[in-house]
Amino acid sequence: MVSLRVNGPVSANNECLDETGAARAPYEALWSSIDRMGIEAFCARGAAANNRVTGDSFTFLLDPKQFRPTPTDLLPRIIAKNDWKTVEAGVGQRQRALNMFLVDLYCGTQDVVPSDVIFSCNHFY
């Protein structure tokens, strides 16, 4: 029996919990693990993970002088197998399209991006 509960209302759009605060089927094992771990230990792990992200410089550039740690979510998004098939197909399609564009870009067969923009980019080579 899971005793971990949230305070306040739960949005109908919450992927992990239903409106009553109970874990949705794909999240039951995860929610149960967090419950067994305890909220204090879970929060401590979260703080340690955030420190690690910052310490490892897992960051992205906001402007030429400022980096920000990459936000990380302690709860993984669990995607059902049937839903993953749709995501996988879309990601694969996008990857193929981007690769085809990069081939056109590097081989000079595209006419969308001016060549002076391409060759002046710091990261072109």
Q: Same structural domain for residues 28 and 85?
A: no
Q: Same structural domain for residues 2 and 62?
A: yes
Q: Same structural domain for residues 39 and 53?
A: yes
Per-residue model confidence as pLDDT tens digits over 26-48: 999 999 999 999 989 999 999 99
- Could you tell me which of 24, 2, 4 has the C-alpha nearest to residue 12? 24
Q: Same structural domain for residues 66 and 85?
A: no
CB pairs under 8 A, 24+ apart, for 9-15? Answer: 15/77, 15/78
pLDDT band at 88 (very low <50, low <70, confident <90, very high): very high
- Among residues 54, 74, 94, which one ends one of the domains? 74
Return the beta strands (E) in 1-125 as ranges. Answer: 59-63, 66-69
Q: Is the pTM of this model over 0.85?
A: no
Q: Which domain holds residue 6?
A: 1-74
Q: Same structural domain for residues 68 and 47?
A: yes
Q: Same structural domain for residues 21 and 54?
A: yes
Percent of the chain with pLDDT over 90: 32
Q: How far, in Å, are 37, 46, 75, 87 from residue 23 at the CA level?
A: 16, 20, 13, 23
Structure tokens at 51: 């420190």
Q: Same structural domain for residues 47 and 102?
A: no
Exposure string of 80-112, with b = 16+ CB inside 10 Å and e = fewer, is eeeeeeeeeeeeeeeeeeeeeeeeeeeeeeeee
Q: Same structural domain for residues 5 and 59?
A: yes
Q: Same structural domain for residues 39 and 90?
A: no
Provide the number of structural domains found in the chain: 2
Q: Same structural domain for residues 66 and 83?
A: no
Per-residue model confidence as pLDDT tens digits over 37-77: 998 999 999 999 888 887 777 777 777 777 777 777 888 88
